[in-house]
């Protein structure tokens, strides 16, 4: 805990004063441009990866960057998506998976969930990933099969996102664009899913 306390002291002493004007604006309202649906994994830090800051991203996180299939049930992810699209009117929604995803490892290996009944039930949401598995990428090395499934899960959750009523309406009205990303922890690079070509491509032009 001391590390967190020291970090907060540093924030109050050195960071907050320099950005006091920004925080004053953010104290009463927010207008993020991007909804990011990503994994709970501690290695994924969207603001660091994308060089964004307070007020830029509206983020919801869960094991496996899941977008639950639309149903009569209420869940935190769907409620967050609805709020971001209908109230905050974000123009972009991103589903971001990542390399070495523990949730997808469990789905692939069918092990490690014996004493985790809630996690096992949650991972039922990623079963469609097997249908959308991507071609093996030699750059993934020994993790190529896992990488294929993780990318497939991004596609599956992208389909689920499109099926959310608020998203479907916003896309039809032309005020929302939806994106599927794969982030590689080792290289720091992001791939984006091309829905027309049905494949992942480097996000940055510098990667091409």
Whether residues 19 and 40 share a domain: the answer is no
- Domain count along the chain: 2
17-57: per-residue pLDDT in tens? 999 999 999 999 999 999 999 999 999 999 999 999 999 99
Whether residues 152 and 173 share a domain: the answer is yes
Whether residues 93 and 1 share a domain: the answer is no
Going by pLDDT thresholds of 50, 70 and 90, the confidence category of residue 205 is low
- Which pLDDT belongs to residue 72? 62
Going by pLDDT thresholds of 50, 70 and 90, the confidence category of residue 113 is confident
Q: What is the pLDDT averaged over residues 70-89?
A: 89
Whether residues 38 and 116 share a domain: the answer is yes
- Which pLDDT belongs to residue 69? 82
Q: Which residues on adjacent β-strands are paired with residue 201?
A: 192
- Which pLDDT belongs to residue 184? 97
pLDDT(206) > 60: no
**Distances from the Cα of 90 to the Cα of 75, 127, 130, 167, angstroms:** 20, 29, 30, 10
Look at residues 96, 82, 85, 203 and name the one whose alpha carbon lies nearest to residue 157.
Answer: 96
Whether residues 3 and 57 share a domain: the answer is no
Domain boundaries, position 180: 31-207
Q: For the whole model, what pTM was predicted? A: 0.93
Whether residues 62 and 49 share a domain: the answer is yes
pLDDT(144) > 60: yes
Whether residues 63 and 15 share a domain: the answer is no
- Which pLDDT belongs to residue 110? 86
- Which pLDDT belongs to residue 112? 81
Whether residues 74 and 164 share a domain: the answer is yes
Going by pLDDT thresholds of 50, 70 and 90, the confidence category of residue 207 is very low
The secondary structure element, H or E, covering residue 30 is none
Whether residues 64 and 11 share a domain: the answer is no
Look at residues 95, 76, 86, 80 and name the one whose alpha carbon lies nearest to residue 160.
Answer: 95
Indicate the average pLDDT of the chain. 94
Distance, in Å, from the CA atom of 57 to the CA atom of 115, rounded to the nearest integer, reads 34
> CA 36 from chain center: how many Å?
5
Q: What is the pLDDT averaged over residues 190-206?
A: 90
Whether residues 80 and 25 share a domain: the answer is no
Contacts of 38 (CB under 8 A, 6+ apart): 44, 46, 59, 60, 61, 65, 94, 95, 96, 97, 98
Q: Which two tokens stand for residue 45?
A: 């830090």
Write the CATH number for 40. Answer: 3.40.1050.10
Furthest-apart CA atoms within the chain: distance in Å:
51
Whether residues 117 and 170 share a domain: the answer is yes
Look at residues 202, 102, 112, 92 and name the one whose alpha carbon lies nearest to residue 150.
Answer: 102
Whether residues 39 and 111 share a domain: the answer is yes
Going by pLDDT thresholds of 50, 70 and 90, the confidence category of residue 128 is very high
Query: Buried b vs exposed e over 49-84: b needs ≥16 C-beta within 10 Å?
Result: bbeeeeebbbbbbbbbbbbbbeeeeeeebbebbeeb
> Count of residues for the chain?
208
């Amino acid at each position: 805990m001391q590390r967190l306390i020291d970090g907060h002291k540093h924030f109050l002493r050195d960071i907050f004063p320099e950005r006091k004007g920004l925080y004053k604006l953010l104290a009463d309202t927010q207008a993020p441009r991007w909804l990011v649906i990503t994994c709970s994994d501690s290695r994924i830090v969207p603001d660091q990866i994308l060089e964004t800051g307070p007020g830029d991203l509206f983020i919801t996180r869960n094991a496996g960057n899941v977008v639950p299939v639309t149903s009569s049930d209420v869940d935190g992810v769907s409620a967050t998506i609805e709020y971001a699209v209908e109230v905050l009117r974000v123009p972009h929604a991103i589903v971001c998976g990542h390399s070495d995803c523990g949730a997808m490892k469990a789905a692939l290996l069918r092990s490690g969930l014996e004493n985790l009944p809630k996690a096992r039930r949650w991972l039922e949401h990623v079963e469609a990933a097997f249908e959308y598995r991507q071609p093996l990428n030699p750059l993934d090395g020994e993790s190529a099969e896992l990488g294929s499934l993780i990318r497939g899960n991004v596609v599956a959750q992208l389909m689920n996102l499109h099926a959310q009523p608020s998203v479907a309406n916003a896309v039809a009205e032309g005020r929302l664009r939806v994106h599927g990303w794969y982030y590689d922890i080792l290289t720091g690079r992001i791939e984006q899913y091309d829905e027309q070509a049905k494949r992942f491509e480097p996000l940055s032009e510098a990667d091409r």
